[in-house]
Structure 1
Amino acid sequence: MIFYLFKTKQKNISKKRLIIYALSLFIIGDVFFITGNSGKMTHFVFAAFLFIGAKICYSIRFLNSKDFKISKLVPFLLFGFAYMTIITNLVYNNLGYYFFPFLIYLFVVLLLMQFAYLRKGEVNELSFWLVIFGVFFSMIADSINILKIFYDPLIAYNKITVMFFYCLSQYMIILGVLQENRPINNNKKLKVKR
């Protein structure tokens, strides 16, 4: 958050606030998540809802007003369907009362990925790819965490890998937001007087 506040040149206050809200919710969620590792499932659930709020803030921040073709979303929808199916099949039998919070969490994860994906053509390529990879690494961290809790707690190096991908994702998303600007339109050629 300190890195973002010092480096940002964002003039749109509402967009700036959304990033600050998201990072604040992630920080508070991290505290509950860490204390929840001692066996307190209520801490984990509260942390999950804070992460949902943070991801919604990111999603709103990445939202743009440009119309898009449904065909542009086909690769994303196929990826999203495959991801949800695989994760749900692995953990379904152990979810119990957490089935609906799990679905809400997955829905928000995919919503964030969708809005990050729809930035293509709206921002420069560097910003687009940094955010996309950041969101993808966030999905990897979430998946490892879900598998650790609901599938097999003995996943090797799960704490290290979750923290690595989580920190990397936050860094890349913020770096992508800081690099954000409109793409240069190369189709417009300057007319040279002869």
Structure 2
Amino acid sequence: MLHIFKNERKISILFFIILTIDILVKLNLDPFPYRYISKPPLVLLLSLYYYYNNNEKRKRKKLWVILALCSFLLGDIFVINHTNIIFLSVSLLLFALAKVFLSLRLSHISDFNVIKLIPFSIILFVYTVFIVSFLFNSLGDFFAPALLSFFISLLLIQFAFLRRGVVNRVSYSYVFLGIIFYKFSEAMMAIKTFKMDLPMQDILIMLFYGISIYLIFFGIVKEHKN
């Protein structure tokens, strides 16, 4: 049975089957109790895949990944009932923690070209300011937590960008693309929750989120230093 968790192809197929089931549950059934059954297996499956396949040499890096996975798992559970202000607040905190732990895992000590980072950082900053400005009048008491969450995402994607040339190309591409998908999912979820409905929002938010965590954690497992 355990050999399944070492097979990337089988785990990938199983992951996207579970993701499809969760999206169908989200579209057709009540959140309680069905999504509390259909959603957690996504992160649990990634956790098992990471546990059996990671090649981390530093225990601290493994700890950051485990803490990120735990935070995503709990955040997924709380955000299901996002219409409840307490559950929404806790989910924002948990997802922010997950991004902090990922940032710690992706950070590295290496020389990098600051000049190349500046244009990229400006684009991300403008994007973040645009989203926050668009939501400003609707955030209310959630303005500060939402602003903090978006800027932690900004920090995370910069750490992912700085891995270029330090780690192998496959790992870099997986993680970087995964975080881009996460940014789209996060922005759509914020607009849906605080501002207005979007076309196909229930499908796209979960699809982008599922793809993002798949790419991020598979990319971490594939990491090798150049």
Matches within 5 A, 1:1-194: 1-36=47-82, 39-152=83-196, 154-183=197-226
Q: Give identity over the alignment, percent.
A: 33
Aligned partners of 2:69 and 2:93: how far apart in 1? Answer: 14
The answer (yes or no) to whether the contact 2:125–2:154 under 8 Å persists in 1 is no
Instruction: Supply the AA of the counterpart residue of 2:61.
Output: K
CA-based RMSD of the aligned residues comes to 1.1
Deviation at 1:10, TM superposition (A): 1.7
Aligned length: 180
For the pair shown, which has the larger CA radius of gyration, 1 or 2?
Answer: 1
Deviation at 1:81, TM superposition (A): 1.7
Deviation at 1:72, TM superposition (A): 2.1
Runs of 4+ in structure 1 displaced over 4 angstroms?
A: none
Q: Normalised by the size of structure 2, how large is the TM-score?
A: 0.77
Instruction: Supply the AA of the counterpart residue of 2:221.
Output: L
Aligned partners of 2:81 and 2:135: how far apart in 1? Answer: 23
Aligned partners of 2:55 and 2:132: how far apart in 1? Answer: 41
Specify the SS of the correspondent of 1:24: helix
The answer (yes or no) to whether the contact 2:171–2:219 under 8 Å persists in 1 is yes
Aligned partners of 2:144 and 2:209: how far apart in 1? Answer: 23
Aligned partners of 2:128 and 2:185: how far apart in 1? Answer: 15
Specify the SS of the correspondent of 1:35: coil
Give the stretch that moved more between structures: 25-34 or 4-13.
Answer: 4-13
Deviation at 1:27, TM superposition (A): 0.3
Instruction: Supply the AA of the counterpart residue of 2:148.
Output: I
Q: How far does the alpha carbon of each residue in 1:113-146 deviate from its partner, in whole angstroms, 9 at most, with x for none? A: 0100010111011111110000000001001001
The answer (yes or no) to whether the contact 2:185–2:209 under 8 Å persists in 1 is yes
Deviation at 1:75, TM superposition (A): 2.4
Deviation at 1:155, TM superposition (A): 1.3
Aligned partners of 2:214 and 2:53: how far apart in 1? Answer: 13
Q: How far does the alpha carbon of each residue in 1:27-59 deviate from its partner, in whole angstroms, 9 at most, with x for none? A: 0111110123xx201111110110000100000
Instruction: Supply the AA of the counterpart residue of 1:131.
Output: V
